[in-house]
């Protein structure tokens, strides 16, 4: 549920709210049965996909860096549901979930992870560098926080063209300490650009917790110096995210300038596949899984609310498993890029 | 009595135009009062009185051009002095000879003084005039026209950077663009290179065609991640799906007396990156034609200008659709004895050296690379095959330079044509010093090019 934290702030009773306009506190979204089942399906798809990617990494089918989204599924599913065709999305290197939520076929994503010609980037990008302009997905960027000014630029293009689009720009709690984020906040507010900044606060920048890296650990306040209003959202609750997304999209699309959403979330797996996991306890991870898992929570809500029974959800689970197995088989069997692809796509023009 | 001398108001200012007097003889002035408006190569500035007193004489009339720095322009009698009797209100003439007014360009405000530096003479050596009707233009005017013409035909093109709009450009290159195209397309940014380079790259990914001006390329080091990691690599990493058609432009290389942090040639840095186009023109005609090509290109372009050339005049083709192809070098002087390869301001040095060499009976061929990536090795090798001797001339450091690359190309692909080792003449391999004598000693010199050319000719 969206909330304005009080006691947790280091600033104590100091009110971070300035005198400039800000949206009303978002309401938890009231979803239809079909919407609930679709959010459930998408979250399960991301979870199963990422589990399978982890296995393929262990088998040596996926190389290099591979950052899994397990635990954070509610953020991207709740946000994406509020977007329109004209909108654009950009994120960092933990991008598989964003691509699946954008409707990009799992085969094309998985085949990119295994470095095959059928991958969304022809096997030339890999886990961290995937794009699909067709789906309004602008990457997939490997340099921490680089996507923040790039997303601000996408918003600049929306405004310049007057196409009514909004740029949704995701970054992590680690990226939130990069200077270019604040350069972007400044220009976005100055020029009232249609951009939603989303900090996916999964509590750890690699192995460094927010408390050990951030003087202001209430990250939704990070825009206040630039008059960018911020809201903190329970990123483990897909309906809270969906509600906040509604508020944000309406605010930004109305030309009121940027908005910052801090999604409080958690990743169950390591920062990447090579994470030694020495910086937090097993108990901490187990406790979050036990008490706050976004998929389990939605499942319970669907069943308790009488929207569908367990058997119906099992059907969804089964279909997703088959889809992910199909994608993994495809990605394992698809051919590698031809060697001539080494030299293509460097420049578009002939000089 | 205090003599008011024309002060240097910018690092490259050697002379200025006394646009307007704001006082007249007999006026009493207080410290801080504005005495005159001075037009420099970069801007129109106000000259303030340091001390109070009575204006007793004005030595230079309003409108005088080419007033050298240090010229006495007024005399002010101290407040307790008797004002000297004014013989005549305004001197008949500027004491220093004013240069011929520049001809053939529309905007008088853009007229700028020419900077003399250790690298380039007050009048830059001229390449052959382009074919067809031409007009005489400074390089800064040619760049401005290139942007304006492309903005007229292509709504997606916009200019963004520090002081590009209301200030009219830190070096006056964007002069007049705000007036014609408005604030939506001529965008003043905060001082935020990292941010606006990334924002520009994102806008290009979103379908626009940004021209991002860096006040100088020294400041682009703050933003180099976006030039290389975001702009240059995206097409490849996306398997050809996502374009980034953007031009990063601004002055590059040593200016004048601004020392190490503001004097550096980044040509070799950017030219080493696949996925970028890198352009570094010498003449105004090439600057205009290549900037138009750069703006039209679907690829990211780093366009390296040179502050010392901004005020230089060249013959530029008439018409607003004359482009110069990217990736093509130009033979700017024909000769049979030795090839001098250069780019940007180095071409002027090479042409000067060629003129010296001709006095000794050595005819040098001068190749202006114009584009540093992709490099036109065919033109370089064809010239080498003709002359069999080569010297590379570069205003920049020697190590891992464009010179290094040209020498490697000559070795790998032109070895059989070589009658002597290829030599390079560059700046000295040190951070650029401030002191005038040290700066001069550190920078590229025609005399060194002459000596190197004679050496490879065994003369």
What pLDDT digit, counting tens, does each position of A258-276 carry?
999 999 999 999 999 888 8
CB B288 within 8 A of CB B364: no
The complex scores an ipTM of: 0.89
Residue B303: per-residue pLDDT: 98
Which residues lie below 8 Å from residue A270, measured CB to CB, with a gap of 6+? A276, A277
Q: Is the minimum CB–CB distance between B275 and chain A shorter than 8 Å?
A: yes
Residue B385's CB is within 10 A of a number of other CB atoms, namely 13
Tokens of A94: 């933990």
Return the pLDDT at B114: 52
B262 noted as active-site residue: yes
| Contact state of A153 with B201 under an 8 Å Cβ cutoff | yes
**pLDDT given for residue B30 in this prediction:** 87
Cβ(B258)–Cβ(B11) below 8 Å? yes
Q: Which of A267, A283, A265 is nearest to A206 (CA)?
A: A267
Q: Are strands B134-138 and B313-317 parallel, antiparallel or unpaired?
A: antiparallel
Show the domains of chain B with their CATH numbers.
Answer: 2-77 (2.40.50.100), 134-317 (3.40.50.970), 330-457 (3.40.50.920)
The set of residues, in sequence order, having a beta carbon less than 8 Å from that of A322 and lying 6+ positions away, is none
Disruptive mutation site among B206, B247, B298 for chain A (greatest number of A CBs within 10 Å)? B206
Contacts of A132 in chain B (CB under 8 A): 241
Domain range list for chain A: 33-327
Distance CA A183, CA B164 (A): 18
- Least Cα distance to A91 among A105, A115, A75, A113 occurs for A75
Show the DSSP H helices in B56-159 as ranges: 139-153
Residue B115: pLDDT over 80: no
Structure tokens at B304: 């390296």
3-state secondary structure of B189: coil
Beta strands in chain A (DSSP E): 88-91, 137-140, 167-172, 195-201, 204-205, 208-209, 230-234, 259-264
Cβ separation of A154 and B299 shorter than 8 Å? no
Check residue B194 and give its pLDDT: 97
> How are beta strands B247-251 and B209-213 bridged, if at all?
parallel
Region B325-354: mean pLDDT is 98
Residues of B in contact with A347 (CB under 8 A): 235, 275, 277, 299
Contact assignment for B240 to A344 by CB distance below 8 Å: yes
- Say yes or no for a CB contact (<8 Å) between B235 and A133: no
CA-based nearest distance A216→chain B, Å: 22
Predicted confidence band of residue B268 (pLDDT cuts 50, 70, 90): very high
pLDDT at A12: 34
Lowest mean pLDDT among A95-99, B4-8, B163-167, B249-253: B4-8
Set of chain B residues whose Cβ sits within 8 Å of the Cβ of A348:
235, 240, 243, 298-299
Query: What is the rounded average pLDDT of the residues B374-402?
Result: 98
The alpha carbon torsion through A340, A341, A347, A349 (nearest 10 deg) reads 60
Q: Give me the CATH code for the A33-327 domain, please.
A: 3.40.50.970
Chain segment B46-97, per-residue pLDDT in tens: 888 888 889 999 999 888 888 988 889 999 887 666 555 544 444 444 434 3
CA–CA separation, B241 vs A108, rounded Å? 14
A119 vs B contacts (CB less than 8 Å): 239
B242 touches chain A (CB under 8 A): yes
The model carries a pTM of: 0.87
In the prediction, which pLDDT does B170 show? 94
Residue window 46-85, chain B: list those with CB within 8 Å of chain A: none
Give every residue of chain A whose pLDDT is below 70, as ranges. Answer: 1-18
Active site residue B305: no
Q: Which residue among B59, B105, B226, B262 is the active-site one? A: B262
If you average pLDDT over residues B308-326, what whole number do you get?
96
For residue A277, the model assigns a pLDDT of 84
Q: CA–CA separation, A75 vs B453, rounded Å? A: 67
Residue B199 has its nearest CB partner, among A149, A158, A351, at A149
Report the residue from B206, B234, B299 with minimal CB separation from A154: B206
């Amino acid at each position: 549920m969206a909330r304005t934290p009080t006691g947790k702030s280091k600033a104590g009773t100091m009110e971070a709210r300035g005198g400039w306009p800000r949206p009303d506190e978002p309401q938890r979204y009231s979803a239809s049965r079909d919407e609930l089942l679709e959010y459930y399906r998408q979250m399960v798809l991301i979870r199963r996909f990422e589990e399978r990617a982890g296995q393929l990494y262990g088998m040596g089918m996926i190389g290099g860096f591979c950052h899994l989204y397990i635990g954070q599924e509610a953020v991207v599913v709740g946000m994406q549901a509020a977007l329109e065709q004209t909108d654009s999305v950009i994120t960092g290197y933990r991008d598989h979930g964003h691509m699946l939520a954008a409707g990009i076929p799992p085969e094309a994503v998985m085949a990119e992870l295994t470095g095959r010609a059928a991958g969304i980037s022809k096997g030339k990008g890999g886990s961290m560098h995937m794009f699909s302009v067709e789906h309004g997905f602008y990457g997939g960027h490997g340099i921490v926080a680089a996507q923040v000014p790039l997303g601000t630029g996408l918003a600049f293009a929306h405004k310049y063209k007057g196409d009514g689009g909004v740029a949704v720009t995701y970054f992590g709690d680690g990226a939130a300490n990069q200077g270019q984020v604040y350069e972007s906040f400044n220009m976005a507010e100055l020029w009232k650009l249609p951009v939603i900044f989303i900090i996916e606060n999964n509590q750890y920048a690699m192995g460094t917790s927010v408390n050990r890296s951030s003087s202001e650990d209430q990250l939704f306040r990070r825009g206040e110096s630039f008059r960018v209003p911020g809201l903190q959202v329970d990123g483990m609750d897909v309906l809270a995210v969906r509600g906040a997304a509604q508020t944000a999209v309406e605010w930004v699309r109305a030309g009121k300038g940027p908005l910052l959403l801090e999604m409080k979330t958690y990743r169950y797996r390591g920062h990447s596949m090579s994470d030694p996991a020495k910086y937090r306890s097993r108990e901490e991870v187990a406790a979050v899984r036990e008490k706050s898992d976004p998929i389990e929570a939605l499942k319970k809500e669907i069943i308790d609310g009488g929207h569908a029974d367990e058997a119906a959800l099992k059907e969804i689970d089964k279909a997703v498993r088959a889809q992910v197995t199909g994608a993994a088989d495809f990605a394992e069997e698809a051919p590698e890029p031809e060697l001539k692809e080494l030299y293509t796509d460097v420049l578009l023009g002939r000089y | 009595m205090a003599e008011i001398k024309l002060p240097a108001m910018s690092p490259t200012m050697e002379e200025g135009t006394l646009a307007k007097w704001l006082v007249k003889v007999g006026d009493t002035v207080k410290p801080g009062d504005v005495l005159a408006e001075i037009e420099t190569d970069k801007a129109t500035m106000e000259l303030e009185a340091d001390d109070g007193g009575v204006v007793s004489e004005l030595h230079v009339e309003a409108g005088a051009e080419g007033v050298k720095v240090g010229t006495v322009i007024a005399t002010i009698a101290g407040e307790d002095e008797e004002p000297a009797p004014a013989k005549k209100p305004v001197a008949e003439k500027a004491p220093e000879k004013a240069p011929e007014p520049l001809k053939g360009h529309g905007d008088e405000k853009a007229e700028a003084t020419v900077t003399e530096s250790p690298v380039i003479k007050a009048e830059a050596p001229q390449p052959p005039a382009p074919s067809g009707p031409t007009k005489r233009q400074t390089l800064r005017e040619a760049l401005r026209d290139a942007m304006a013409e492309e903005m007229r035909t292509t709504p997606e093109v916009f200019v963004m950077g520090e002081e590009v709009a209301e200030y009219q450009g830190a070096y006056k290159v964007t002069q007049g663009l705000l007036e014609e195209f408005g604030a939506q397309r001529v965008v003043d940014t905060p001082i935020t290179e990292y941010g606006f380079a990334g924002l520009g790259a994102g806008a290009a990914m979103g379908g626009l065609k940004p021209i991002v001006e860096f006040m100088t390329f020294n400041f682009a080091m703050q933003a180099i991640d976006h030039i290389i990691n975001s702009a240059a690599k995206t097409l490849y990493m996306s398997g050809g799906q996502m374009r980034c058609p953007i031009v990063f432009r601004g002055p590059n290389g040593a200016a004048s007396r601004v020392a190490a942090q503001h004097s550096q040639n980044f040509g070799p840095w950017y030219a080493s990156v696949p996925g970028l186009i890198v352009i570094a023109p010498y003449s105004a005609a090439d600057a205009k034609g290549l900037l138009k090509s750069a703006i039209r290109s679907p690829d990211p372009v780093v366009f390296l200008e040179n502050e010392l050339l901004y005020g230089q005049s060249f013959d530029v083709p008439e018409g607003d659709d004359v482009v110069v192809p990217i990736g093509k070098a130009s033979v700017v002087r024909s000769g049979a004895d030795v090839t001098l390869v250069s780019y940007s301001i180095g071409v002027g040095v090479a042409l000067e050296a060629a003129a010296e060499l001709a006095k000794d009976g050595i005819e040098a061929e001068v190749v202006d690379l114009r584009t540093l990536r992709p490099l036109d090795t065919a033109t370089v090798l064809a010239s080498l095959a003709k002359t069999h001797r080569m010297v590379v001339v570069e205003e920049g450091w020697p190590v891992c330079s464009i010179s290094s690359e040209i020498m490697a190309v000559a070795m790998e692909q032109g070895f059989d044509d070589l009658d002597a080792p290829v030599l390079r003449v560059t700046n000295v391999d040190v951070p650029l010093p401030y002191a005038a004598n040290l700066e001069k000693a550190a920078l590229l010199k025609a005399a060194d090019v002459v000596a190197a050319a004679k050496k490879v000719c065994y003369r």
